Amino acid sequence: MKEIKLFKKSKINAEIEVVPDKSITHRAIMLASLASGDCVIKNFLSSADCYSTINAFRNLGVSITDTENELLIKGTGINCLKNPTAQIDAENSGTTARLLSGILAGQNFVSTIVGDESLSKRPMKRIIEPLRQMNVEISAVEDNYLPMTIKGNPFLKPLLYNSKISSAQVKSCILFAGMFADGITTYKEPILSRDHTERMMKYLNLPIEIKNKKISLKGPVKKIEPFEIEIPNDPSSASYFIALALLLENSNIIIKNVCINPTRIGFINVLIKMGAKITFLNQRILYNEPVADVLVKSSRLRSIKLNKEDVPSTIDEIPLLATVATQAVGVTEIRDAKELRLKESDRIKTICSQLTEMGAKIIEQEDGMIIMGGTKLKPSKVNSFNDHRIAMSLAVASSVVDGKTVLLNPDCVKISFPNFWELFKSV
């Protein structure tokens, strides 16, 4: 599908479920592949990104059987992955490439990770440098980009790493590598990033200690017991329908079984500060992750200044926040978000240019943007630039436009939300 035609929506009144969480699915596949026996992952995200991880581990000798809503993974044991028969293709998935690197660092063979054109432009030095400090030999294009070749070392050196950036991918890579190190590997970050890896390791009784922004893992980990887990639904995917309900008058929606991990609901917290009527119902803990049903009612929103501390837990939703801010009262300022330039597209540039095309008054900044609220958006032709977050954010923008919006390259949503267009049209 090269383009899709979108039209203004009237009020919505619905109860829905969005797709399972992408971040948790990746990590569950990786740890299950290293477990000593059969593992079951229920309600996994069947998206292109997650299949990049599934196929990577199949290439490493792991038997993975997928049905419509669950995975059966026959874990090889932590030190028993096989030398891959071909290069490991992470395709578009930065999570696959970066987290898998930490696991490959502790194996007794040489492997090469490649990716598509977009992923091959995303920086890898942020994981290369700490892994080298753990005595891993790594080569990469310009010492920073895929293809990247890792000469595994099953006797890694433990590491104390003070990260200058808050990145769950860097943190997870180092913690995975720490499972193969003889001693305590510690990771510190300036602001707490999403913590699914630590939570899952804790659930699996691995020797991990968590103190705010400092996480320590004692290695070597000899065995991961087989496990069963059910993945909650993705808060990032839910955010597009939260935004829809807020922007369309006289609307309300309930989104079922959403992960409300505090490191993942920065977008919701920001919206509440803007005046959004959002309530968590039926709160519970499942497999060490907080889950709830999210009730959203249409609201009159006011502008906000996004703080540096808000960015790590809001990073995926910032293009959507910019979209919502065009309809809020006042001027919204988003700063300290330069990391957005290193995503599937330069998300600062793409969302600013495409919202401007729709009539928004938005000023691009090196590390963010300034958005004038209360803007009437206009019919136009816009482009996702093959970035799933941009495509879905522009879909939300189209819902308040009097007329037809044409979106180019809409199929990229399959990266994280395969049935997005069907669900978006149904509500």
Domains of the chain in start order, with CATH, are: 3-20+232-426 (3.65.10.10), 22-230 (3.65.10.10)
pLDDT at 212: 84
First-residue to last-residue Cα distance in the chain: 21
Q: How far apart, in whole angstroms, are the C-alpha atoms of residue 61 and residue 34?
A: 11
Task: Give the mean model confidence (pLDDT) for residues 123-150.
Answer: 98
Average pLDDT on 197-201 reads 98
Across the range 55-83, mean pLDDT stands at 96
Q: What whole-number percentage of the chain has pLDDT above 70?
A: 100
For residues 206 and 221, give the distance between their C-alpha atoms in angstroms, rounded to a whole number.
7
Residue 64 corresponds to which tokens in the numbers above?
């993975």
pLDDT at 309: 87
Q: Does the pLDDT value for residue 132 go beyond 90?
A: yes
Q: Are 26 and 265 in contact (CB under 8 A)?
A: no
| Structure tokens that stand for 365 in this block | 């900044």
Q: How confident is the model at residue 4 (pLDDT cuts 50, 70, 90)?
A: very high
pLDDT value at position 307?
83
Mean pLDDT (whole number) for 274-287: 98
pLDDT, tens digit (0-9, with 9 covering 90-100), for 225-243: 999 999 999 999 999 999 9
pLDDT at site 245: 98
> 56 Cβ partners below 8 Å, 6+ apart?
88, 89, 90, 96, 100
Residue 386: CA atoms inside 13 Å, Cβ hemisphere, count?
Answer: 6
Ordered strands of the 183-188 beta sheet: 160-162, 183-188, 214-219, 208-211
pLDDT at residue 1, rounded to an integer: 75
C-alpha span between 334 and 3 (Å, rounded):
30
Annotated catalytic residues are 316
Better pLDDT: 213 or 19 = 19
CB 277 within 8 A of CB 297: yes
Residue range 363-409, pLDDT digits in tens = 999 999 999 999 999 999 999 999 999 999 999 999 999 999 999 99
Q: What is the mean pLDDT of the chain?
A: 97
Q: What is the pLDDT of residue 76?
A: 97
User: What is the spatial distance between Cα 8 and Cα 162, in angstroms, rounded to a whole number?
Assistant: 48
Distance CA 407, CA 381 (A): 6
User: Quick one: average pLDDT of 118-139?
Assistant: 97
pLDDT exceeds 80 at position 349? yes
Element of type H or E holding 82: none
pLDDT score for 68: 82
**Tokens 């809409």, located at residue:** 410
308 pLDDT band (50/70/90 cuts)? Answer: confident
Residue 148's pLDDT is 98
Per-residue confidence at 69, pLDDT binned at 50, 70, 90?
A: confident
